Chains A and B, each alone.
Chain A
Amino acid sequence: MSILIVAEHDNASLKAATLNTVTAASEIGGDIHILVAGSDCQAAADAAASVAGVSKVLVADNAAYGHQLAENLAPLVAEVAGDYSHVLAPATTSGKNLMPRVAALLDVDQVSDIIAVVSADTFKRPIYAGNVIATVKNEEAIKVITVRGAAFDASAAEGGSAEQTNVGAAHDAGISSFVGEEVAKSDRPELTAAKVVVSGGRGMQNGDNFALLEAIADKVGGAVGASRAAVDAGFVPNDMQVGQTGKIVAPELYVAVGISGAIQHLAGMKDSKVIVAINKDEDAPIFQVADYGLVADLFEALPELSEQL
């Protein structure tokens, strides 16, 4: 068996989610290769080559792959995939965008968002917003899979010394183009990799009040998240949304502030190790999953909490 992982990277460095995917691959077992497709992506390829447990890095360096457009990338991955039993990618927005297109080109079904490897062909994945865990068997010759990062530890970024080879003709489908990007810049850790996540909901009332959460996050080296209601109301940008249709997080500590605990929000955070809820409504469903619940007005509790940390 040999496993190909499609790296998530920004040409200069590997994204953390790639490392969780390497761990999932090592649980499947077999040779692990990483494909780094990008433009001027040698630095990312070098980073991939030093990941522990990786034996080979395939590099496809071409302008057509610079922005990871699925129309260009999918034919490349499908072409390379023929030599592998499994093709994996992180279940991030880029993995979700790309992999089904690869699977359809290979004429195979995909298994999305796995949270456990049972055997080389059997996996667990959440369905119905995580209220049911399905065990599915994949008997395709090439198993196309996306991996939920929060469910697997990150493998060591250093310690490997994989050989690198160049692969693949350039595919420029010519039907799509990158126009621009608005990427949030933050000094805080990435939401999906942070050890502590402090999230705010509709109860925060406006975007400015998120400063109360930021103060706490900064004291404990955490990231700030949000419910969909907070994003929809325009308090904070979409990349902060935690939930079924946002980001899935499983930090050591998750603090939900002014969040009621809808099924769709719980789907994104209920595998956190310790959950704290601060809500003024003692019947809020969030308390059913919280290890520590504080019934309080957040505008009184947050300054106090920040002071005591």
Chain B
Amino acid sequence: MKVLVTVKRVVDYNVKVRAKSDGTGPELGNVKMSINPFCEIAVEEAVRLKEAGVATEVVIVSVGDKSCQEQIRSALALGADRGIHVEAEGSLQPLAIAKLLEAVVDREEPELIIMGKQSIDGDNNQTGQMLAALTGRPQGTFASKLDIADGKAQVIREIDGGLQTVSLALPAIVTTDLRLNEPRYASLPNIMKAKRKPLDTLTASELGVDTVSKVTLVSAEPPATRQAGIKVASVSELVEKLKNEAKVI
């Protein structure tokens, strides 16, 4: 079974991003970039499927400018077999990314696609579901457990009320939640090996996809700041403040 995994290059989750002072967008100069944490979990899950003998090949795809090859290499160092870089400049909306991925899926015909449930930059939580719609595949979103057997993917999903289990006919799309697994660290020899793994590059025009979007960023601003609070010395002072000052209990 061939597994396709998507990875996105995003600002590292430890960085607190701020809006630019001129309000034109987030300040992204000189910040540390990483694989989106949910995508990293997707890579780990695919590699485990390969180690378990369920997957035969793990292919990584990333859409973005040249720099995202760094994240593809990181995914290869975790144990994936080869990479595909879909070259695209600027920040694309999820539908455009899903269409580019659809074109890759048409070429690669993977039986399983594993993606992160959301990327921690745009926090959109859309691309997996959109790709599922475009390819007519079932979707197991927000997965905390994945089992492949008898041509089906059984997925335990994290939902607001608890957990839901669905069964999906393959080929299918699964998007990862945080508890699906804990990704490994790449070893130095594997990082070296990853440098020699195949990495192909494609462009949007080669794939015949129009990436223009009708959703555009008008401005970006910092969130409302909270008034500085106070420290209370005791539980009784806290209760007194909540009752008489804040009036919330």
Contact = CB atoms under 8 A, between A and B. Distances in A.
Given A112-B123, A131-B223, A140-B215, A104 B133 contact: yes
A74 B127 CA distance: 15
A133 B222 contact: yes
Contact of B238 (A100, A139, A271, A305): A305
B231 A109 contact: no
A184 B161 contact: yes
Given A69-B166, A176-B168, A137 B229 contact: no
Contacts of A174: 169
Contacts of B154: 179
Nearest to B213: A109
A171 interface: no
Contact of B129 (A69, A101, A178, A183): A101
Contact of A93 (B126, B131, B142, B172): B142
A132 B93 CA distance: 17
A276 B217 contact: no
Interface residue tally of chain A, by bracket?
35 or more
B14 to A, nearest CB: 8
A70 interface: yes
Contacts, number: 263
Interface string A104-135: 11011111110000000010001111111111
A135 B220 contact: yes
- Main SS class of interface, B: mixed
A180 B164 CA distance: 6
B229 A292 contact: yes
Nearest to B13: A264
B45 interface: no
Interface in A221-238: 228, 231-232, 237-238
A211 interface: no
A109 B93 contact: yes
Interface residues of B, number: 81
Contacts of A70: 129, 132, 139, 141
A176 B154 CA distance: 10
Contacts of B144: 238
Given A137-B218, A176-B138, A132 B17 contact: yes
Interface stretch (B82-90, B189-197, B241-249): B241-249
Interface stretch (B62-70, B114-122, B200-208): B114-122
Interface stretch (A43-51, A53-61, A201-209, A283-291): A283-291
B21 interface: no
B52 interface: no
- Main SS class of interface, A: mixed
Nearest to B241: A292
B167 A133 contact: no
B159 A94 contact: yes
Given A70-B139, A139-B214, A128 B120 contact: yes
A132 B164 contact: no
13 contacts: A70-B132, A100-B94, A101-B130, A101-B133, A104-B131, A109-B94, A140-B215, A174-B169, A175-B172, A232-B179, A239-B161, A291-B246, A308-B235
Interface of A: 67, 69-71, 74, 92-94, 96-105, 107-113, 122, 126-140, 173-184, 192, 196, 220, 228, 231-232, 237-239, 244-245, 247, 252-253, 263-264, 270-271, 273-276, 282, 287, 289-296, 301, 304-305, 308-309
Interface of B: 11, 13, 16-19, 26, 93-95, 98, 117-118, 120-134, 136-139, 141-142, 144, 154, 157-169, 172, 177-179, 213-224, 226-227, 229-232, 234-236, 238-239, 241-242, 246, 248-249
